[in-house]
């Protein structure tokens, strides 16, 4: 997401909104699979040797529940995005690193599909009855057969 200096009116702010490919944000590394583009709505302006931008970011996708391991829909939304980027030598600044950082910070470390009442987590529902039903693993007859073979060979 690049902003060119010439796009910003002197002493004023530039309003930009649109959609971009979410792939450069590498949200998959945080367990989030985007199902749509990154939508943004930003106001950018010059301040000193840099460009500031404030606004909103949003990306639809899925997370994987830590309990039932099923994917569930999740919207990654930054409502109060705010960043300041130094201009450097070029005539444009790239907001992507800031956007990526902010969005990664919002990814839950332990996503749960029942986080906001979206649905009851299937794993949580079966935890109690499932634990009671579990039997200890019976001794396998395979080991008996193997030990007999060993005895025959010696
Ligand atoms: Zn779940």
Q: What is the pLDDT of residue 134?
A: 47
Q: Which pLDDT score, from 0 to 100, does residue 123 have?
A: 86
Q: How many domains does the chain have?
A: 1
For residue 83, tell me if it sits in a domain: yes
Dist. CA 81–CA 17, nearest whole Å: 13
Return d(Cα 100, Cα 25) in angstroms, integer.
5
Tens of pLDDT, residues 68-110: 999 999 999 999 999 999 887 778 889 999 999 999 999 999 9
Residues 4/87, Cβ–Cβ less than 8 Å = no
- 143 found inside a domain: no
Domain-located, residue 148:
no
CA of 75 to the centre of ligand 1 (A): 16
CA–centroid distance, residue 65 to ligand 1 (Å): 5
Question: Does residue 19 carry a pLDDT above 50?
Answer: yes
Q: Is residue 79 part of a domain?
A: yes
pTM of the model: 0.74
Note down the domain range covering 72.
Answer: 2-123
Q: Give the pLDDT of residue 80.
A: 95
Q: What is the pLDDT of residues 20-67, one digit of tens each?
A: 999 999 999 999 999 999 999 999 998 888 899 999 999 999 999 999
3-state secondary structure of 28: helix
Torsional class of 48: left (φ above 0), alpha (ψ -120 to 50), beta (otherwise): left
Ligand 1 geometric centre to CA of 43 (Å) = 38
Question: If you measure from the C-alpha of residue 131 to the centroid of ligand 1, how many angstroms do you get, rounded to a whole number?
Answer: 17
Residue 131, in any domain of the structure? no
User: Considering the domain boundaries, does residue 81 fall inside one?
Assistant: yes
Neighbours of ion ligand 1 (CB under 5 A): 65, 67-68, 113, 121
- Kindly state whether residue 6 falls inside one of the protein's structural domains: yes
Q: What are phi and psi of 78, to 5 degrees?
A: -110, 110
In a domain, 11, yes or no: yes
């Amino acid at each position: 997401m690049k902003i060119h200096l010439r796009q910003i009116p002197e002493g004023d702010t530039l309003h930009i909104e649109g959609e971009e490919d979410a792939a450069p944000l590498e949200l998959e590394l945080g367990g989030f699979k985007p199902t749509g583009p990154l939508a943004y709505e930003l106001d950018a302006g010059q301040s000193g040797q840099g460009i500031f931008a404030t606004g909103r970011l949003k990306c639809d996708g899925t997370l994987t529940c830590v309990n039932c391991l099923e994917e569930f829909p999740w919207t990654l939304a930054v409502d109060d995005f705010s960043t300041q980027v130094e201009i450097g030598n070029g005539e444009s600044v790239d907001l992507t690193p800031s956007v990526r950082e902010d969005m990664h910070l919002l990814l839950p470390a332990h996503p749960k599909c029942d986080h906001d009442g979206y649905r009851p987590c299937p794993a949580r529902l079966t935890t109690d009855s499932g634990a009671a039903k579990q039997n200890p693993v019976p001794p396998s007859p395979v080991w008996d057969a193997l030990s007999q073979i060993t005895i025959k060979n010696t």
